[in-house]
Amino acid sequence: LTLPSVLHSNMTVYQSVPNAPITEALLDIQVARTEDVDFTALEPFCDAIAAEYPTRRHRIEWQAAFSVSDDGPAIAASPGGGTVGYLLTSRDGSQIAQARVNGFSLSRLRPYQDWNRFRAEAQRLWEIYLEIAQPRMIERIALRYINRLELPLPFEDFREYVRTAPEIAPGLPQSLSHFLMQLHIPSSVHDAVAIVTETLEPPKDDGSLLPFILDIDAVRKGSLHPNDPTLWERFEKLHALKNEIFFQTITEKTKALFQ
């Protein structure tokens, strides 16, 4: 996690800080699926990284649909889906790679290290996936960071710690036991959309801390050739957008919690 340093080309550069509240970072590349390619064609990818990612599981997806007409009941369609790829977990359990017929992902669980190492590992694995899967086109890229802010209790207002927070109308009881809020924030500077989700988890048993979840998903849609040299520059923009959303959302009082 990083703090603002200097402004360059309309984007703020950030410096690392200790004790980041990141519980999971996810880098995802969605590709156009070739219908006649079976998930077993990705087994060579699993074999190529087995030394670092020895635990292998199937990745399963299911879909269902129904239709409604003005003069009749809803008609349910048969569910479709099944195994689409593999989940591969590192020896220490901190990283999970996904190789799917419709894309590639890398997750980093706590403790998060830093963006440079996370991006470098994702790029290394993507190049292996690219050689084996040979996708036709990239359709969507995304960078998602889930943060768990443990806010000290008691406090009077969420805005002591978080600038973007729910507001209860005057005249209503002002206490709040739970909420779920989602914002879609387009950014022309970063050529992406940030999907920001905020919610609460139950307080810790002793009532001293309230877990506040700040989930930031920076997404860029649009066709891109799999070998396009600008792919990782685009991820840099998504990372910059993620940082901007995070640090414009929290307060100085919250930053002090990470020291």
**Ordered DSSP codes for 72-100:** S--EEPPPEEEEEEEEEE-TTSSEEEEEE
In this predicted structure, the answer to whether residue 5 has a pLDDT above a threshold of 50 is: no
* pLDDT tens digits, one per residue of 50-69: 999 999 999 876 555 556 65
CA distances from 253 to 112, 146, 207 (A): 22, 20, 20
pLDDT at 248 over 90: yes
Query: Rounded to a whole number, what is the largest CA-CA distance in the chain?
Result: 63
pLDDT, residue 12, reads 72
pLDDT band at 38 (very low <50, low <70, confident <90, very high): confident
Hunting for tokens 């989602």 — which residue is that?
A: 182
Give the Cβ contact number of residue 119 at 10 Å.
18
Alpha carbon distance 182, 161 (integer Å): 18
The whole-model pTM stands at: 0.87
Query: What DSSP assignment string belongs to 124-185?
Result: HHHHHHHHHH--S-EEEEEEEEEEEEEEESP-S-GGGTBSS---PPTTS----S--EEEEEE
Q: What is residue 127's predicted lDDT score, i.e. its pLDDT?
A: 98
Asked if pLDDT for residue 213 goes beyond 70, the answer is: yes
Q: Which helix (H) or strand (E) holds 216?
A: strand 209-224
How high is the mean pLDDT of the chain?
Answer: 88
How far apart, in whole angstroms, are the C-alpha atoms of residue 120 and residue 117? 5
Q: Provide the sign of the torsion angle of the four alpha carbons 79, 82, 87, 93, taken in this order.
A: positive
- pLDDT tens digits along 64-98: 555 665 666 655 554 555 788 999 999 999 999 99
Q: Tell me: pLDDT of 3 over 50.
A: no
Query: DSSP strand E in 10-94: where?
Result: 11-16, 22-31, 55-63, 66-67, 75-76, 80-89
| Strand partners for 30 | 103, 140
Q: In this model, does residue 1 exceed pLDDT 70?
A: no
Give the span between the Cα atoms of 167 and 193, in whole angstroms.
24
Residue with more model confidence, 107 or 157: 107
Phi, psi angle pair for 54, to nearest 5°: -80, -25
Of the pLDDT bands very low, low, confident and very high (cuts 50, 70, 90), residue 151 is very high
pLDDT tens per residue, range 188-205: 999 999 999 999 999 987
